[in-house]
Amino acid sequence: MIVIKNLTKKFGNFIAVDNLNLEINSGEFFGFLGPNGAGKTTTIKMITGLYAPTSGEVIINGLDIQKFPIEAKSFIGYVPDEPFLYDKLTGLEYLYFSGGLYGIEKSILKNRIEKLIQIFELNEWIYRLTEEYSRGMKQRIAIASALIHDPKIIVIDEPIVGLDPSSATIVKKILKERANEGATILMSTHLLSIAEELCDRIAIIKNGKIIFESSLKSFQKFTFGHNGNLEEFYLKVLSNEITDKVD
Ligand code: ADP
Ligand code: MG
């Protein structure tokens, strides 16, 4: 479970994230939706402990990530918007390296890596240096490595942007599967269609503030009064014509 309390991040005088409050329950697939520059990545970096908040707190499964960073981070699998890989490692070496960071026992790690290679259809690519990979293939390795310690919480920043269709299909499938198995998933996206396809609940963020929060079902129901057009409704929320919090 992720609990965010009065979370704020300032860069100089600029408020990138403005007093956010949010609870994401275990087993929930939560979509963090909003235009570019809304504050999604900054929020995610505070949730994953990469940025210290200017004020407020992030509680991961009961632990304040600022006070118990190592324990709290061990629950999380994080996939950044621009995955960082080591160019001179093969995909396989990178997965072993990531597993090693979590201190996973060798034989368990070997099994997990074999499964991940299958799930992500990495095939012979696994033996090639990651510098040779396409964006889709890099993203597949990044997600596989984020799942290596079987995290209960998956935080993924703009996963589908720039992915080829087969990578996008694989990524969506694995995220859905993990959610069905009970993982908590926080996914940011500026694409309404992706949120609609995957999420149970969404929050719309703009200028660092949550301006709308609801279950996807309510969000869809809500739009019937607005011609049933989700895209149109979303744009109205963003242009401040509609502000609400429904459940
Ligand atoms: P999103 O992920 O929703 O596109 P970001 O969280 O990346 O938005 O950015 C939110 C705002 O904060 C933007 O205006 C961005 O320019 C600003 N910002 C993000 N990171 C920094 C930083 N390290 N220093 C200064 N401003 C930043
Ligand atoms: Mg971003």
To the nearest 10°, report the CA torsion of 100, 103, 106, 107. Answer: -130
- Determine if ligand 1 sits within 6 Å of the CB of residue 31: no
Query: Is residue 162 in a domain?
Result: yes
- Determine if ligand 1 sits within 6 Å of the CB of residue 40: yes
Atom 10 of ligand 1, residue of closest alpha carbon: 39
Q: Which two tokens stand for residue 163?
A: 């992915």
pLDDT at position 176 is 93
Half-sphere exposure in the Cβ direction for 35 (13 Å, CA): 10
Note the ligand closest to the C-alpha atom of 82.
2
Query: Is residue 109 in a domain?
Result: no
Number of domains in the chain: 1
CA of 209 from ligand 1 middle (Å) equals 13
Query: Is residue 166 in a domain?
Result: yes
- Determine if ligand 1 sits within 6 Å of the CB of residue 147: no
pLDDT at position 82 is 86
Query: Is residue 33 in a domain?
Result: yes
Query: Is residue 124 in a domain?
Result: no
pLDDT at position 247 is 44
Q: What residue ranges of the chain have pLDDT lower than 70?
A: 223-229, 241-247
- C-alpha–C-alpha distance, residues 164 and 139, integer Å: 10
- Residue 36, domain extent: 2-80+154-238
216 by DSSP, 3-state: which? helix
CA of 157 from ligand 1 middle (Å) equals 13
Query: Is residue 123 in a domain?
Result: no
Q: Provide the CATH number for the domain around residue 16.
A: 3.40.50.300
11, 44, 206, best to mutate for ligand 1 pocket (most atoms within 8 Å of CB) = 11
Query: Is residue 132 in a domain?
Result: no
- C-alpha–C-alpha distance, residues 45 and 79, integer Å: 11
Query: Is residue 114 in a domain?
Result: no
| Cβ atoms 56, 7 nearer than 8 A | yes
pLDDT at position 224 is 62
Question: pLDDT tens, 107-138?
Answer: 999 999 999 999 999 999 999 999 999 988 99
pLDDT at position 246 is 47
pLDDT at position 160 is 84
Q: Residue 16 to residues 26, 44, 69, 225: CA-CA distances in angstroms?
A: 27, 12, 23, 32
